[in-house]
Structure 1
């Protein structure tokens, strides 16, 4: 659900250093918010502090959020830790392979471009009603 960004309460966080937010903000501006923030029913932020900071930098009025029924300090802290510890970054090999694939998909080779051009040409010649 979309929540008013100004109604989300950000209490003391485990993370002290948000790091450089420019790349995350650029991604959010280009693709939108891919992962929701997590808040409890009191509208206290449980996870997604960096996303919230970027949303504010981008002057967003709302963010996509999941509301959970968690209120105890140990549960909130456990959930914040869980989100930040259980993910796994790509290996260097996986990054290289993904970027190569993206480059190939973004710039089709000569034969692919030629085939598409020929297909468009013949599609134009054989329109219904000609």
Structure 2
């Protein structure tokens, strides 16, 4: 079964994400029964954020559902600062989208990302 395969993958250290949540066919009962770690909110719901103070009942429900199911939430398709502000305010821990960077070849990504990860080594003895 799908559930057994996902359990097997998780035992090997893999994490599982439900992608494009809220679009197409997705049974809510599967969220409750499948062993998943992340819920990725589709861009269509992020686009509904026209300002940081907008009323977004569906997006609020998705974020709340993710919390209740102990899933880590990822917002897809973030393109604007007001979206980032809303996501931070509503404690969505991960975001992806053009606001941070466009798709790029792996070598370009490494050059872009490496300086962000550089930490000074602790002082020696």
Which structure has the highest helix share of the two? 1
TM-score range, shorter chain: under 0.3
**Which structure carries more relative contact order (alpha carbon 8 Å, separation 6+)?**
1
